[in-house]
Structure 1
Amino acid sequence: MTSWSRSLDQAGITAPRLRSDFSEQRRLVARFARAEYAAVRLLLPAPCVPDIIAATAFMHHSDNLIDQGSASERAAAFTAWESRVRAALDGGSADLPVLHALLDAITRHPQLRRQVETYLDGAPEEVHWEGFATESDLRRYVDAYSHPAFMLIACLLAPRASADSYAAGCRTFIEASQRLDFLADLAEDLRTGRLGIPEDALTRHGVTLGALRAGVACEALGELVRERAAQIRTGLTASYGLVDLVEARNRPFIRALVTIQELRLRAVEEKGAGLVRGSAGPSVVASLRVLAREHRAARVFTRAFTS
């Protein structure tokens, strides 16, 4: 793994203040998304790592602002944040480190600006989200918010050709991942009162909100988890098509991203109806095996490319 200082050098980030701001984002991402941070550092080419970190930090910062408090508090926080971000984009400068790093990343990846604007356009869907009545509502949420949020990072790995196929593949992956998040975080979401499983799915299986809030791990909930897990697996399997669309140097990262989601899905399936009492995540050992395998693949490519 290339040192962080060399990654900054190879990305052309030389100004002391910029290096400090990027380093601050690195520390934040390493704290709140350890597995993803490890994958980025181990599997992606060093020159693109700082910009991936900057985009990830921006997404996390934004999501935190609009995911806390009451609906009115979330709306007020988003209004202030959107104004600040758009002013930074239009003026080309920002004092806040997370925005300063983002603006610098945009100078190397102009497509990132459009993705930031698309993300801001769709963020009200997250601000006002309280739950879903139907599957159509969930898909609209993914289209408006989850997909643009993922594309903040994914656009930095986009192929020069097959852009439409790549965007569609990212949409398939993030819908499966979002559905998986809603299952894995069922107990936590119940505590906040914002459930990610549509009401029509609950009704079809005879699962009531009252039973969920009471922590009842009934057979009907187990059937619901199995049904949704099968749907998620279909999406993740299709997502491996992204591997062939990106440049060879980025394939280990994409492959690891999908594989680790499959490990998460397996953990969710094993917990089943017990998800109502607590979240489920993949084995750390299994995740490390995936990263180690793909790290070897990344090193093989690097040696071949530089020899």
Structure 2
Amino acid sequence: MRRTTTRSGTRPGTRSGRELSALDAAYDECRRLVRTTRPTEYALMQLMPPVARPVSWALYAAFAFADDLLDRSAEAPEERGRLLREWRAALEADLASGTSDDPVRLALTDAVWHWGLDLGDLLDALDAVQRDDDRESVATWAEWRERAHAQNMSWPEQLMRMLVRVGLPVPVRLRDLPGFTRFVEGLFLTDMLRDLPEDLDGGHVWFPTEVLDRFQVTRAELLAREWTPAVRRLVAHLADQAREWLEDSRRALRNTLPLGPAIVLDSAVALFGAELDAFVRAGSAALHRQVRVPRHIEWRILGPARARAAVVWRLTLPPGRDAAAEASRTAAHRPAGVSGDDSAPALPAGPERHTTRIAEPPLPPRPHRDGARPPAIAEAHLPQHVAIVMDGNGRWATGLGLPRDEGHRAGAVALRDVVQGALEIGLAHLTVYAFSTENWKRSPDEVSKLFAIMRAELLDGELLDHDVRLRWVGSPDGLPEDVVEVLRAQEHATRNRTGLTLNVCVNYGGRAELARAGASLARAALAGEVDPARVSEQLFAAHLPHHALPDVDLLWRTSGEIRTSNFLPWHAHYAELHFTDQPWPDVDRRDLWEAVVAYTHRKRRKGAASAPAPAEGTE
């Protein structure tokens, strides 16, 4: 990766006070641009967590700037195209260098550096906007959808990736979710109706020719702004179509998204629906000027949504995370996805844009948000292998009046912090019980959501920034194919890491593991490869599905339950047991450190009369 610096010779994470002032001004300019040109979208952005709003402004301002540049009627089409190509090339150069003299590009560059956004997707979306200037119209709905997806898929996905970074696991590959494409199409068609006067000013009619022919409306009629009965029927049909797509998306996504993003989605559907109603009521005026939703209707939708969103973000984001994430723009640590020197993030090319990328060299552990430091424990007295039953997610959520899946999302955030703490103390092996074979007894809805959360968490790749080797322990039988694929992909991506080995038990059962080992031994005996009279513990262990897993030194279970629940019965045969009362979502790395310190005071005799005293420096 090429080494680059900003104009002041520092990374964006170590900007001077003058540069930070310019950066604040850049985000303010993005906010002003979005608020004045896209007031509906701006109002919806205010429902996001406070830390996500500046990123929202930067992302949408860049897209709006490019889109509005092509809609100008003052310049010739060739001139507009040239200006956009120059702006796009300047953005790519800014993303490589980490700075810019343009406020919108500066804010977007900062957002990309510090939140690990997908540069390839963003640039592809801008290229799709550029291609619009080279065409006059679209012929079919299929061609129209291709245009909508190319321009609009990336932006909400980038926001989801940023929410993952601040501690809320969400599906970052939204395009894989049923219903999301319908939302993009409904939003795009609503935006097209809203911008119809400007498009007509520029000589553009972007509705598919097939729908114009169906209603016997010509492009010439629309460009002349003739309010004929046929045009009125066309407009009503398009508004109904956009409304139907938006409502379809809400029904499809309601049970997939976590509560906070779901509030934003519901509000978006309601607000854009109100916009469509206002557009139809305006009649012929909608061909001459943009139509706004009456303020009292807007506030009737947004007022309750803001109150609900504020409560949800406060409950589902870890304490202090918003403030910590907001400060991260000016903190002196590298952004996720950036290598360990002063390098800029690589601009991916070709088919590799969506493949797993890991930081090389790996980043050091992320500090605790409150500045807590790990205890000094002599390496010789550290447990080599800690296993955790992460219990209490569902009960934690139910106790707060939230759906059970919100507890699983909060539990994923807790695991991130515990992994960072394991890295800080130099733990060699950490195994977590993510999904047992008994968990299939839960409701299909909860299981489906749990796997969606798991997949999103793995896809985010935050752990890939650190010296973590991920290994999957469990069986693929019955698991969703996409979960199996991402587990195997992350195993492969981290195979050369030498720091913490994180074993994730997914679809794992201890008795099933022993039964498979017995079956393997039986087959070997029938084949004459093993003498049944000479089967030893070592030989049996060699036939375990995960025979390379070391013995567990410390087994910890949260949420007040005092049992091991079919977890690693072979490997944990001599483990020290540690039980704590707090549910898993309330745990962080400090609880891991307390468990490890308690372990160092145990007498590990393993049948002997005495054991060596703990080494100094264990507290």
Q: Please state how far the C-alpha of 1:230 moved relative to its aligned partner.
A: 2.7
Residue of structure 1 aligned with 2:232, choices 222, 236, 239:
222
| Residue 40 of structure 2 is aligned to residue 30 of structure 1 | no
Larger mean Cα displacement after TM superposition, 245-254 or 150-159 = 150-159
Q: Which runs of 5+ in 1 are unaligned?
A: 1-11
Q: Please state how far the C-alpha of 1:218 moved relative to its aligned partner.
A: 2.0
Q: Please state how far the C-alpha of 1:155 moved relative to its aligned partner.
A: 5.0
**Structural mapping, 1:41-52, within 5 Å:** 41=46, 43-52=47-56
| Residue 28 of structure 2 is aligned to residue 18 of structure 1 | no
Residue of structure 2 aligned with 1:100, choices 86, 103, 106:
106
**Structural mapping, 1:253-292, within 5 Å:** 253-272=264-283, 275-292=286-303
| Residue 150 of structure 2 is aligned to residue 144 of structure 1 | yes
* Separation of aligned partners in 2, 1:33 and 1:186: 14
Instruction: Indicate the structure with greater helix content.
Output: 1
Matched letter for residue 145 of structure 1:
Q
* Aligned counterpart, 2:97: 91
Larger mean Cα displacement after TM superposition, 76-85 or 115-124 = 115-124
* Aligned counterpart, 1:298: 309
User: CA, structure 1 residues 27+86, in 2 after alignment: closer, same or farther (shift >3 Å)?
Assistant: same
Matched letter for residue 128 of structure 1:
D
Residue of structure 2 aligned with 1:178, choices 188, 197, 200:
188
User: CA, structure 1 residues 86+171, in 2 after alignment: closer, same or farther (shift >3 Å)?
Assistant: same
Asked if the contact 1:217–1:274 (Cα under 8 Å) also holds between the matched residues in 2, the reply is no
Matched letter for residue 290 of structure 1:
I
Asked if the contact 1:134–1:200 (Cα under 8 Å) also holds between the matched residues in 2, the reply is yes
User: CA, structure 1 residues 302+90, in 2 after alignment: closer, same or farther (shift >3 Å)?
Assistant: closer
Larger mean Cα displacement after TM superposition, 190-199 or 19-28 = 19-28
* Separation of aligned partners in 2, 1:83 and 1:250: 33
Larger Rg: 2
Matched letter for residue 245 of structure 2:
G
User: CA, structure 1 residues 275+114, in 2 after alignment: closer, same or farther (shift >3 Å)?
Assistant: same
SS in 2 for 1:281: coil
SS in 2 for 1:44: coil
Normalized against structure 2, the TM-score is what? 0.43
Q: Please state how far the C-alpha of 1:271 moved relative to its aligned partner.
A: 3.7
Matched letter for residue 173 of structure 1:
F
Larger mean Cα displacement after TM superposition, 221-230 or 49-58 = 221-230
* Separation of aligned partners in 2, 1:37 and 1:184: 15
Q: Please state how far the C-alpha of 1:250 moved relative to its aligned partner.
A: 3.1
* Aligned counterpart, 2:70: 66
* Separation of aligned partners in 2, 1:96 and 1:199: 39
| Residue 200 of structure 2 is aligned to residue 190 of structure 1 | yes
Q: Please state how far the C-alpha of 1:301 moved relative to its aligned partner.
A: 2.0
Q: Please state how far the C-alpha of 1:32 moved relative to its aligned partner.
A: 2.6
* Separation of aligned partners in 1, 2:85 and 2:225: 36
SS in 2 for 1:111: coil
Residues 138-169 of structure 1 deviation map (CA, whole Å, 9 limit, x = unaligned): 12211322334555556545774544455554
Q: Please state how far the C-alpha of 1:84 moved relative to its aligned partner.
A: 0.7
Residue of structure 2 aligned with 1:211, choices 221, 242, 256:
221
Residues 87-135 of structure 1 deviation map (CA, whole Å, 9 limit, x = unaligned): 1122233232222221221133213423322223323322224222222
Q: Please state how far the C-alpha of 1:235 moved relative to its aligned partner.
A: 0.8
Q: In the comparison of the two structures, how many residue pairs are matched?
A: 296
User: CA, structure 1 residues 72+278, in 2 after alignment: closer, same or farther (shift >3 Å)?
Assistant: same
* Separation of aligned partners in 1, 2:63 and 2:244: 27
User: CA, structure 1 residues 34+180, in 2 after alignment: closer, same or farther (shift >3 Å)?
Assistant: closer
* Separation of aligned partners in 1, 2:33 and 2:77: 26
Q: Which runs of 5+ in 2 are unaligned?
A: 1-13, 320-399, 401-619
* Aligned counterpart, 1:9: none
User: CA, structure 1 residues 242+221, in 2 after alignment: closer, same or farther (shift >3 Å)?
Assistant: same
User: CA, structure 1 residues 209+57, in 2 after alignment: closer, same or farther (shift >3 Å)?
Assistant: closer
CA RMSD, Structure 1 to Structure 2 (Å): 3.0
* Aligned counterpart, 2:249: 239
SS in 2 for 1:228: helix
Asked if the contact 1:147–1:175 (Cα under 8 Å) also holds between the matched residues in 2, the reply is no
Asked if the contact 2:85–2:130 (Cα under 8 Å) also holds between the matched residues in 1, the reply is no
* Separation of aligned partners in 2, 1:213 and 1:121: 27
* Aligned counterpart, 2:127: 121
User: CA, structure 1 residues 172+56, in 2 after alignment: closer, same or farther (shift >3 Å)?
Assistant: same
Residue of structure 1 aligned with 2:59, choices 52, 55, 59:
55
* Greater relative CO (CA pairs within 8 A, separation 6+): 1
**Structural mapping, 1:155-166, within 5 Å:** 155-157=161-163, 160=169, 162-166=171-175
Residue of structure 2 aligned with 1:251, choices 236, 244, 262:
262
User: CA, structure 1 residues 214+24, in 2 after alignment: closer, same or farther (shift >3 Å)?
Assistant: closer
Matched letter for residue 58 of structure 1:
A
* Separation of aligned partners in 2, 1:47 and 1:279: 31
Q: Please state how far the C-alpha of 1:290 moved relative to its aligned partner.
A: 0.8
User: CA, structure 1 residues 212+57, in 2 after alignment: closer, same or farther (shift >3 Å)?
Assistant: closer
User: CA, structure 1 residues 129+170, in 2 after alignment: closer, same or farther (shift >3 Å)?
Assistant: farther
Q: Please state how far the C-alpha of 1:253 moved relative to its aligned partner.
A: 2.3
* Separation of aligned partners in 2, 1:55 and 1:216: 36
* Separation of aligned partners in 2, 1:273 and 1:231: 19
Q: Please state how far the C-alpha of 1:173 moved relative to its aligned partner.
A: 1.4
User: CA, structure 1 residues 167+57, in 2 after alignment: closer, same or farther (shift >3 Å)?
Assistant: farther
SS in 1 for 2:153: helix
* Aligned counterpart, 2:117: 111
